[in-house]
Structure formats: C-alpha cells, structure tokens
Amino acid sequence: MKITKVIKRVLIDFLLITGIYLLQTSFLPFLFGSGFCPNLLLILISAMGFIYGSFTGMLSGLYAGLLMDSSASGPFGYYMLIFVVIGYVNGLFTAFYYDDYLTLPMILCVISELIYNASLIFLKFISTGNVDLSYSIKKIVLPEIFFSLLITLLLYRVILHFNRALDYKEDKRGQNVA
C-alpha cells in the first residue's frame, strides 16, 4: 500500500471516529433527550475491525477509547481496553468479509455490545457494589442492542460507500500514473 494512501486513510478514520464521538456525546443526546441509545462509536469500531482487520480495529479502538476515557469518570484506560479488545475480536472475522453480506456484521455487533455492556456492568459492580442484573439487561442492554443493530445496517452502508468511493478514486489515479 502506498504511503499517501495510508496517511489519507488514517486521517479519514481519525476524523470519522472524532466526529462520531462528538455526535454521540454532544449532539444526539441533546436532540433526542436521554432516551437515545444506539452506541455509534461501538458500531464504528466493530465495523472497522471487521472490514480492515485486527490491526486497524485495535488502533481505532485505542483512539475511540481515549476519547471516551477523557470524558468518563472511571479509571482512565478502561474504555481504551474495551475498545481495543472489541476492535481485535471483530478483526478476527475479517477473512469472512464480503461487501454485501450483512448477517455476520450484525452478529458481530451483538457480540461487541455484549462485551461492552458486560465490561460496564463489571465496572459498575466494582464502583457501586450492587447491580440489578435482570433490570439492567431488560432496560439498558436489550434496547441498546436493538437500536445498535438498526444503526449497524445503516452506518455499515455509509462506511462501505465511503471507502468504495475512496478506493475507486485511488485506483483511477493509480492507473493514470501507470
């Protein structure tokens, strides 16, 4: 891969993650009130790991986690850890990645949500000492998974389109040079 392509991709992913983070913490909750629940950042990292493999997934996860940690109250680094692991796990399935096959990304979305929420239940258990498990699952985890699945379908298409357009442009440019 050419170095300019790498730089471009890193830059775009960097902006994409930052944008989604801002959207999720500072825009959507104020637009929809506190009832908004799909986890956009998680979906993005999951998709990146799946499309580009573990390495990209982990680095994207590290950056996304850093952003989350900067505005979280728990131990600094906790979200980084969660997102790195999610990026890695999703990257394991990159060999089965086909453009128009949506079942696997949706399964991976659910797996990622489960890892994420299990980690947060654990953190909450450590910090408060008690978690009402059945209530939390019913009221927080399940709605979040449901909405995240919906958004996965949508966001997945957008990322795919975005990257295809980029690939197409680069291929064309490559041909011109050759």
Partner 1 sequence: MESRISKYILTFLVIICFVIMIISYVRSDVVAPAKNAISTVLTPVQKGLNGFGAGINAGVKELANLKNVSEENESLKKSVEELVEENNKLRAESAELERLRSLYELDNSYMSYEKVAARVIARDSDKWFQMFRIDKGIADGIEPGMNVLSGGGLVGIVTETGNNYSMVRSIIDEESAVYAMSQISADTCLVRGNAQLFEEGLLELANMDKNARINDGDAIVTSNLSTKFLPGLLIGYANGISINSQHLSKSGTLIPVADFDDLREVLIIKQLKADME
4 is an interface residue for partner 1 by CB under 8 A: no
Q: Yes or no: say if 48 and 87 are a contact pair by the CB < 8 Å rule.
A: yes
CA distance 74 to 100: 39
134 is an interface residue for partner 1 by CB under 8 A: no
1 is an interface residue for partner 1 by CB under 8 A: no
Question: Which residue in 17, 80, 86, 151 binds partner 1 (CB under 8 A)?
Answer: 80
16 is an interface residue for partner 1 by CB under 8 A: no
CA-angle at 34, arms to 28 and 36, nearest 5°: 55
Question: Which residue in 5, 9, 16, 28 binds partner 1 (CB under 8 A)?
Answer: 28
Which of these segments, 5-13, 28-36, 101-109, 162-170, binds partner 1 (CB under 8 A)? Answer: 28-36
Question: Which residue in 17, 43, 46, 69 binds partner 1 (CB under 8 A)?
Answer: 69
CA-angle at 27, arms to 24 and 33, nearest 5°: 90
CA distance 94 to 9: 18
CA-angle at 74, arms to 71 and 80, nearest 5°: 70
Binding mask 92-111 for partner 1 (x = CB under 8 A): x-------------------
Q: Which residue has the tokens 């927080």?
A: 140
Neighbours of 101 (CB within 10 A): 9
Residues in contact with 31: Cβ distance below 8 Å, sequence separation at least 6, in sequence order: none
Tell the smallest beta-carbon distance from residue 177 to partner 1 (Å).
28
Which of these segments, 2-10, 27-35, 99-107, 168-176, binds partner 1 (CB under 8 A)? Answer: 27-35
Q: Which two tokens stand for residue 15?
A: 């902006």
Q: Which residues bind partner 1 (CB under 8 A)?
A: 18, 22-34, 36-37, 39, 53-55, 58, 62, 65-67, 69-78, 80-81, 84-85, 88, 91-92, 120-121, 123-124, 127-128, 132, 135-136, 139-140, 144
